[in-house]
Amino acid sequence: MAGADPDSFHKLSTGYARDKSHAYYRGAQIAGADVATFDWLNYGWAKDRNHVWAGTQPLSSDPEHFGMINSDLAKDGAAVFCKDREISDDPAHFEIVRFSPDDRNLDYTKDIRTVFYRCAAIPGANAATFRRLNDSVFNYAADDQRAYYQDRAIAGADPRTFRVLYDTANEGCAADAQHAYRWDTVIPDVNPRDFPPGKPVTGCDATQVTFGP
């Protein structure tokens, strides 16, 4: 590496390294890093006695209280971070919104004021009433005012009666009292009141909902 001291150079991870005088990220010198205490944390983060680093940029000035939530999320005493940016100033109330205790889908999170989908705030979502409706890759959720597909409010959907009908790795089907939906789009001329009682939903497309025996 250009400018590095070869005798003291030590690779810490696929991205981070240090020598006796400097710390580096992907070949770039990290200005201001304390080399004596600099070490790789995990994923894309490193820390010294003064900072947590995301690449060459200081992310947190509270390394003592910095903790990883998962591979994308971390928090310290004052903020929550997603990769290389702060997303919340409410770490005390920040949580992953789960459908069940075994749910491993980490797409939805929230603090006391804001709901996030993959680290981006969902405009207008009510954190106090927001809940997951399934644990599939096709994410459905609701609060007291709206139903959501991933990060989008579903226009006209009734959150009180909205339910997931079917979800796999390739399909997402839902309904409320008035309409059926493929992902977040109304399926025309399909009335949930006409669904055959007792028959399981086996899928949907742009024109119909299908049922098993």
What digits encode the pLDDT tens for the residues 159-183?
Answer: 999 999 999 878 999 999 999 999 9
Interval 66-95 mean pLDDT = 97
Rg (CA), the chain: 23
pLDDT score, position 28: 97
Question: How big is the CA angle at 129 (ends 127 and 133), to the nearest 5 degrees?
Answer: 105
Over range 107-116, report the average pLDDT: 98
pLDDT at 200 over 90: yes
- Give pLDDT, residue 102: 86
Q: CA 205, CA 160: separation in Å to the nearest integer?
A: 24
For 35, the token pair is 């080399």
Tokens 């009908």 identify what position?
165
The pLDDT-based confidence of 138 (bands split at 50, 70, 90) is: confident
pLDDT band at 35 (very low <50, low <70, confident <90, very high): very high
pLDDT, one tens digit per residue, over 51-69 is 999 999 999 999 999 999 9
pLDDT of residue 79: 99
- Residue 157: its pLDDT value, please? 99
CB-based burial label for 172 (10 Å; 0-12, 13-18, 19+): buried
Q: How far apart are CA 35 and CA 26, in angstroms?
A: 16
Task: Kindly report the average pLDDT of the chain as a whole number.
Answer: 96
